[in-house]
Amino acid sequence: MAKILIACEYSGRVRDAFRAHDHNAWSCDLLPTEVPGPHYQGDVMDIINDGWDLMIAHPPCTHLAVSGARWFKDKLAEQQDALDFVRMLLDAPIPCIALENPISIISSRIRKPDQIIQPWQFGHGETKATCLWLKNLPLLKPSNIVEGREAKVHRMPPGPDRWKDRSRTYEGIARAMAAQWS
Ligand SMILES: C[S@@+](CC[C@H](N)C(=O)[O-])C[C@H]1O[C@@H](n2cnc3c(N)ncnc32)[C@H](O)[C@@H]1O
């Protein structure tokens, strides 16, 4: 049974996918967990040195995603902080690490991702390019390639919860991570 940290996760999806494989998996976020389960509500830096075997991290992309490029010049300080946070996660003293983000300036400012996956490779008929930066983990193999290629996230209505609805990890990707990286 491995000790697994899912950093920056309020949905509990990756945590619960690993728990289904009998691992001691915890989520951590500044927000409470949406689904009851082992969760540290607070700064991931408080617990990052607690002897984890594997960490999967989903840091905020607000100041990093290339889709927000037209605002970049107004938020250089926030961008620097966001990049520093990503660097701290990637440099954490944990043997196996996966860090996930959309197409972002992490590629030009830190390093290129090891792979880019799509929800349609994991059972969801949607497009959302998701980059993975990996340490000591194999590339994630598509688990269920399906036909649909809809960009559903762009059609979500505006509202206070829109960012949350867009940010939850797809269940199929969470299940593939747990099946292949357990
Ligand atoms: C893009 S969302 C990721 C959501 C995730 N995919 C899920 O399914 O729950 C990024 C999350 O990082 C959290 N976060 C930001 N800074 C953090 C920190 N220092 N420690 C822990 N969580 C943090 C935010 O609260 C936000 O929920």
Does 29 contact ligand 1 (Cβ within 6 A)? yes
- Mutation to probe ligand 1, out of 6, 10, 78 (largest number of atoms < 8 A from CB): 10
Q: Minimal CA–CA distance to 104: which of 127, 133, 124, 141?
A: 133
Cβ(43) – ligand 1 distance below 6 Å: yes
Distance 139 CA to ligand 1 centre (A): 23
Q: What is the pLDDT of residue 160?
A: 77
pLDDT digits (tens, 9 = 90+) for 2-17: 999 999 999 999 999 9
Question: How confident is the model over 54-79, as pLDDT tens digits?
Answer: 999 999 999 998 887 777 778 889 99
Percent of the chain clearing pLDDT 90 (strictly above):
82
Query: What's residue 70's pLDDT?
Result: 77
pLDDT at 127: 95
User: Using one digit for the tens of pLDDT, what is the confidence trace for 113-140?
Assistant: 999 999 999 999 999 999 999 999 999 9
User: Could you tell me the pLDDT band of residue 165, with boundaries at 50, 70 and 90?
Assistant: confident
Q: Say yes or no: CB of residue 13 within 6 Å of ligand 1.
A: yes
pLDDT of 73: 78
44 within ligand 1 shell (Cβ under 6 A): yes
C-beta of 9 in contact with ligand 1 (< 6 A) = yes
Band of pLDDT at residue 86, cut at 50, 70 and 90: very high
- As a whole number, mean pLDDT of residues 77-99 equals 97
Of the pLDDT bands very low, low, confident and very high (cuts 50, 70, 90), residue 53 is: very high
